[in-house]
Amino acid sequence: MTKVEHRQPESLRDNQIRYSHVAKAGNWVLIAGQGPADVHRNIPIDPADQVDNVSSSLAAAIQSAGGRLKGTAKTTT
């Protein structure tokens, strides 16, 4: 059975351990939904800034598991 590692990258906002930001199982990296809030829980008014925050969070989550955003196979928005 594949070991599952749960990760809480420090660069992502604190979710008070309600869920794992990242789970790694073998070569798979699964990331919980990332919202538009920054690390301080502020949500920008500009939708483009919100998208930037989501993209930054995804990149940080992937990197915490040793991956790269370029290697992403699927996202759902």
Q: Is residue 24 part of a domain?
A: yes
Structure confidence at residue 43 (pLDDT) = 92
Which token pair is 25? 């199982």
Q: Is residue 20 part of a domain?
A: yes
CATH of the domain at 13: 3.30.1330.40
pTM of the predicted structure, to 2 decimals: 0.77
28-46: pLDDT as tens digits: 888 888 888 887 888 999 9
Give the domain extent around 53: 4-71
Helices (H), the chain: 47-64
Which token pair is 24? 């790694």
Lay out the sheet containing 22-25: strands in order across. 4-7, 22-25, 28-31
